[in-house]
Structure 1
Amino acid sequence: MTQDTGLNITIIGAGIAGLFAARVLREKHNITILEKSAGGNEVGAAVTPGPNATKWLYKYGWSPKRCGALSLEKVRTLNHEGVLVSEQDVSGMKDLFGSDWHVVHRIDLWNELLRLATDPSDAMSISGSPAKVVWRADVIDVDVDSGKVSLANGESIKSDLVIGADGIKSIVRPLVVEQNTEALSSGASMFRFIIHNNIVNEVTPDTPLNDASKMTELNIRIASDGSRRSVVSYPCRNLELLNVGCIAQDSTINLPTTDSWSAPGSREDLLRVFGDFYVRPILEKAENIKLWQLRDHDPLPTYFKGRILLIGDAAHAMTPHQGQGAAQAIEDGEGLSLFIDQPVTRESVPSVLKDFDRVRRVRASKIQAITRNVHEKKSPEMMWKNLEYNFSYAGIRDCLGRLDDGQEI
């Protein structure tokens, strides 16, 4: 151990979950992040972290300005013909839940979290040392009891704690949970793409993107024919881009033969499935389309074993129907403050992980169940039914106190 009594912590995966975890832990511990890719290739286009996540991002130095994040002010639900079904003013999220509801391009958020994890501590006015990131690091095994991480190149890293933040196809998850926990298809897929504002403004039937005087809005369009098709869009990167996601049942889509959960999609297929939506002029401009198979897995019986902990999609993969995937990863990072706000030794790591599991597994599993229910019974009412539970999260210490008092979280 260095940094006086700091633990040697290895994080496997440099996505949103892994980088935010590194930011929380770096002030007292020695952090090494192992990432299989070369970095900067986050899957997906944009995300919608709610107040339950953004309050922790702010606490640890996140700058929405640096990543062009916007505060949502309005959510509209319409049918596929453009008839308004409901409209919610969400500009008061901070008053209700303590922070804003943001929309942000995923790679912009990733770059900001990389900065928070790796910038010099003096520049950030915090203690400790920056996290070390090792790109193209291929992890082949982790010893549950000792914490030794073995790499394909023959190197090994001794660790007091190993955090599996390696996503939906986690290689760490099977080391923690013996049963089959592979993420399976939900039966639906999403076409995802980004369109520049100058193109959108030529054809959009909605609010122009470049008008900063207008409320930043998220539009949810649900087909009224019972097909469970939907088109969701919202701006990001300081109104420069429109993020679009089009969800339909797999039986209606020409799925790729590859087993990959993200593959190129075609505009022809997009228009065949969604061409009757009133936003067809936008869909006709789509380029660089990704077809993202929506997968999740059942709630796990545990998030830890020995010295290994699962966070993010490795622990609780879910579909995007409540916008909680990235948010729950960020909540996981806040939960790791248990390793910061009290003295922790190598010997006490398992007991701290037990407290983490008591809170994070219960809450994230509930969010998974809520998300599945919305996916199966998509309607304007279901979309909003659990807003208060989703957005209300006072932190892991508060939850532990409530559990100790016999309350639910």
Structure 2
Amino acid sequence: MKQALILMILCTLHSCNRVTPLDDKIDVIFDTATSQYLYLKTILPEGRYPKTYHAKQDKLETSRSGWWCSGFYPGTLLYLNENNTNPEFQKEIDRILNDLKREQFNTTTHDLGFMMYCSFGNAERLTPSESYKNILMNSAKSLASRFNDTVGCIKSWDSSNDDYLVIIDNMMNLELLFWASKYSNDPKYYNIAVTHANTTMDNHFRHDFSSYHVINYNKNTGAVKQKRTAQGYSDDSAWARGQAWGLYGYTVMYRETKDKRYLAQANGIANFILNHPNLPKDMVPYWDFDAPNIPEALRDSSAGAIIASALLELKHYVDGELTEKYNNAAITILNTLTSDVYMANNNSNGGFLLKHGLGHMPQKTEIDVPLSYGDYYLVEAMMRYKHNRI
């Protein structure tokens, strides 16, 4: 009887370690990802970066290095090469990083975290070098140059007159500043990140922890002029990828500061997402939680991937039922995204992994297509799941 009780307790303590369907297929999915990106590199033109693929035209859409998504392709290659070293990947990583490094001095964009930390940040983590460190420091300086102390935020989109536009996506670029502060021992970068996060927490979020997409401040006074949602259904709706950016961003804020206000914020956003009545059972969200034609509305696989990756980190900062809730939600999302519905077959989908991403519905661009950032956060989430199970 005593032995049975001990066994029951041990089983309860290790409930989060149970084998899931994802365990059985994750190595297969990594093999598919490797095959796809080996294919993608063969069709990618020199000096270009993959954005998306249009199946009807069998056309790979690409960009130059200045596009906000340029860091995701090398970042995905770095994760895949970390999972299983491939000399072809290393050669391609070296080639693309040598092209991308010019963006370290780009002061016209707030997206240097996406561009330079997802790429050079991962490269420096895996193979530290002074060259990578210098590039990251220059990138952080360029990003910090867009900070306005009166507003208390890093400017997102350039504009005329006294407008000062800040989008929720910008939370994702703060990780670069935390790295720079630790490396340089200069608190300036840390303080900018914290100030930006605090201002965003005050003005971007509603009482239910859902987020607006864009806040327009007066650059001279810091006053809020307008709250709107550019890429969502309406100003008052909850654009799915925007909610994902917020969840991920405040999870990073707690990791870097251990300030419990950020943990509370991340938990609040997670609660909004996971308990929303319009979240499908498979947990890959519709492109907007308030889209008018649910359940016929399109999904956004990229938002699902970002949410899964964020939850797989956030679960380590909570305990009890929340740990298991976040873990199970992430597993559900990953099982859905790695199913035949969302995962491409070899040598298809333009070399991308995920199908059914959605870029900008109001502008009718990148509708129901693969997206480079969807792939990046899917692979990151799979890496986190594989190596950091509870």
- Say which structure, 1 or 2, has more relative contact order (CA 8 Å, 6+ apart): 1
Between Structure 1 and Structure 2, the one with more helix by share is 2
TM-score when normalising by structure 1: 0.24
Between Structure 1 and Structure 2, the one with more strand by share is 1
